Structure 1
Amino acid sequence: MLRGTVPHVSGPHVSGPHGPVPVRIHEPQDTARAARAGLVWAHGGGFRHGDLDMPEADMVAAELCRRAGVTVVSVGYRLAVGGVRYPVPVDDVDAVWQWACAQGFADRVGIGGASAGAALAMSTALRARDAGRRTPDLLLLAYPFVHYPVPGAAGYDDMVHNYVGRLTDLPPDALPGGAPLEGLPATHVLLSEFDDLRASGELLAHQLREAKVPVTTYLARGATHGHLNRPADHPDAVDESLNYFAGALRTMLQ
C-alpha cells in the first residue's frame, strides 16, 4: 500500500555545467539510518518529458525513502526540448551525483532511474567508473531504455533523434547498453510485463551477467511501461515494484 510522502522534504539546487539543477531531497525520520545509505534518482519521460512533481519522481522517491529508510535525492534534470540534447541531461545527473558524493550525506550511495532516467543513471555510473571517481554502491533500473535499436521494438527513432541528434554512431553514455559494462556495481532491473521496451532490460541483464556484474531482475506482472508513474492504474504492481527496490536499498544498510 502506498502511504504518501515522508515528512522531511527539501528542494535546493545543485550547480552543474549548464546551470543550476533542481533536486528534491527526501529524508527519513531515522537520521542514523539516513546517514548510512542514500539514493540519487532520475525520473523517466523519453528524455523530453517529466519533472520533480510526477509520481515517477516524487512518489517513488518518497516511498523508497520511507520503505528503505534511506535519503533519496530526486533530480530535475534538463529535458531534451528547445534545442537541448545529449549530453546535457547526463551532465545534470552526473553533477548531482558528484554533489551527493561531495556532501557525504550517506556512507553508501546508489543511483537509479526509470526508463530514460535509467539510461541517465547508468551513464552516470559509467562516467564515474571511467573517470576514477567514486562509483555507486548499487544501480536501480526501472524498465530501462538503454539500447538502440531495441530488439523486437520499433517506433523509437524520434525519441533517440530528439535526444542525441542522430541514429548512428551513438555515444556510449547516451544509450549505455552498448558501453563496456565491466566494473559496474550490483544492479537491480525492474521489468514491466507488457512493455515494448522490456527487451532492453532483459538484454541488459544478460549483458551484465556476461560482464560478471551481480544482477537481479523482477517482473511486474500485468504492468505496462512506466507503471511507477501511474500508481492508480497499477496499485499492486507499483507496491510490489517499490518493495523490490526498497529491499535492494536495504542491503546497503547491512
Structure 2
Amino acid sequence: MPLDPYLAQRLHLIADLTFADLVDPEAASRFGRFAEDPSPWAQPDVTVENGEIAGPHGPVPVRTYTPREPGSTALLWVHGGGFLAGDLDMPEAHVVASELAARAQALVVCVDYRLATDGVRHPVPLDDVRAAWRWFRDERAADARTVALGGASAGAALALATAVHDRDEDVRPADLLLLAYPFAHFPVPALDAATAAEMAPLPPTMRFTTTDIEFMVENYVGRLTDLPRDALPGAAALHRLPPVHLLVSEYDDLRPSGELLARQLTASDVPVTTYLAEGMPHGHLNRTPALPEVDRSLDFFADALRQ
C-alpha cells in the first residue's frame, strides 16, 4: 500500500534534507516537526523505575516497567539506533516498553547498552545486553512463566545474537523472541524491484544507502570483512532457537534482512510468525500508537506475549 498518509503529507518538511544537513538548527527543526505524531502520547498506567546492573565493562543502566496488575510474562527489550545511537528515552524504548507492559500485563525491562562511539566496538554492546539478559532471566524475571527477549533494528540483532549464545552455551533460553525490522545481515539483500521503485521518491533521511550500511557495520565491528557471526547474527546457525515473532516495515531498505531471516528461521525449523507494517518506514516503533500501524505493530507483539 502507499506510504502512510500522515507521513506522506509531511514529506515536504524533509524532502531536500540529508542526515548531514541535520547539524543545521533550521534543518533539525524541520526534521523534528516531521517526527511529530498526530496527537500527544499519554503513558499507560505502569510504574517506571530506573536502575543498573553489573556488566563486564561496568554498570549497565536498565529501566523497569511494571503494570498495575502484572501477569506471568516478562520481556527484556533492546532499542535500536545502528549500534551507535539511541537511549532509554527514545520512543522505541520508552513508548514500546510502556505500551507492551500495559497491553500484555507484562514486566518489561529496557537495557541501555553501551553504544559504538568513542572507540567502543563489538562485542561491548552485546556483552552489556547479555549481562542484562542473564540478570533478567535468572533474577528479575525468575518467577515468570514466559520470559521473552526482543529488540528493534540493531537491538534486534543484539537480542538474536544473545539467543544464539544461550543455545551454544546450553543455558536456559528465552521462551520467545520479538524482533522488529532486524538488521541481521551484511551485506543486506537487495529490495525487490517493485518495492525499490515505490521507495525511490522517499527523502534521503528515510533511506539506508550502501554507504550508510557499510558505515554502521564498520563503526560497530571495526571492519567490513571476516565479521563475527554474532555481530550480524543472520550469518549464524539458527536452529534450536525459541519461537520468533518478526515485524518488518514495508518501506525499509533493511526489510530484505528481516525477510531473509524469516526464511532462514523456517529452514532451521524455528517457528516464526511475521507481520508486515504496511505503509511504514524503518524505525516506525520510534513513533507512538497515534499512528494506526504503530498501534497494530504493538498489538502484534503484545498478542505474542499474552499467548
TM over 0.5: yes
Aligned to 1:242: 298
What secondary structure does 1:201 align onto?
helix
For 1:48 and 1:243, the matched residues in 2 are separated by 28
Q: Distance in 2 between matches of 1:124 and 1:44?
A: 15
Distance 1:92 1:6 in 2: 29
Moved more, 189-198 or 147-156: 147-156
Q: Any idea what SS the aligned residue of 2:59 has?
A: strand
2:46–2:102 contact (8 Å) kept in structure 1: no
Cα deviation, residue 105, structure 1: 4.7
Structure 1 residue 8 displacement after superposition: 1.0
Deviation at 1:4, TM superposition (A): 1.8
What is the Cα-based RMSD across aligned positions, in Å? 1.4
Q: 1:107 aligns with which of 141, 145, 160?
A: 145
Q: 1:182 aligned to 2:220?
A: no
Aligned residue for 1:27? 66
Deviations 1:203-237 (A, max 9, x none): 000000000000011000100000110238x7111
Q: How many residues align?
A: 247
Q: 1:18 aligns with which of 48, 51, 57?
A: 57
Alignment partner, residue 73 of structure 1: 109
Residue number in structure 1 paired with 2:4: none
Matching of residues 88-237 of structure 1 within 5 Å: 88-103=124-139, 104-152=142-190, 154-155=210-211, 156-231=213-288, 235-237=291-293
What is the TM-score of this pair, normalised by structure 1? 0.94
Following TM superposition, by how much is the alpha carbon of 1:109 offset from its aligned partner in structure 2, in angstroms? 0.5
1:6 to 31, 45, 67: 45
Could you tell me which residue of structure 1 aligns to residue 30 of structure 2? Answer: none
- SS of 1:17's equivalent? coil
1:9 Cα offset (Å): 1.1
- Secondary structure of the corresponding residue to residue 95 of structure 1: helix
The one-character-per-residue Cα deviations of 1:152-196 (angstroms, maximum 9, x if unpaired) are 162310100000011111111110001000010000110101000
SS in 2 for 1:12: strand
- Residue type at the aligned position of 2:156: A
The residue type equivalent to 1:45 in the other structure is G
State whether residues 95 and 288 of structure 2, in contact with CA within 8 Å, keep that contact through their aligned partners in structure 1. no
8 Å Cα contact 1:190/1:218 also seen in 2? yes
Letter in 1 for 2:231: A
CA distance in 1, matches of 2:45, 2:90: 16
> Any idea what SS the aligned residue of 1:13 has?
strand
Q: Distance in 1 between matches of 2:190 and 2:102?
A: 37
Q: Report how far residue 5 of structure 1 moved.
A: 3.9
Quote how far apart the aligned CAs of 1:108 are: 1.9
SS of aligned partner of 2:262: helix
Structure 1 position 3, deviation (Å) = 4.6
User: Counterpart of 1:108 in structure 2: which amino acid?
Assistant: T
Q: CA deviation at 1:57?
A: 0.2
- Amino acid of the residue matched to residue 131 of structure 1? E
Q: Percent identity?
A: 57
Preserved contact between residue 151 and residue 199 of structure 1 (Cα < 8 Å):
yes
Report the Cα distance in structure 1 between the residues aligned to 2:281 and 2:249, rounded to whole angstroms: 5
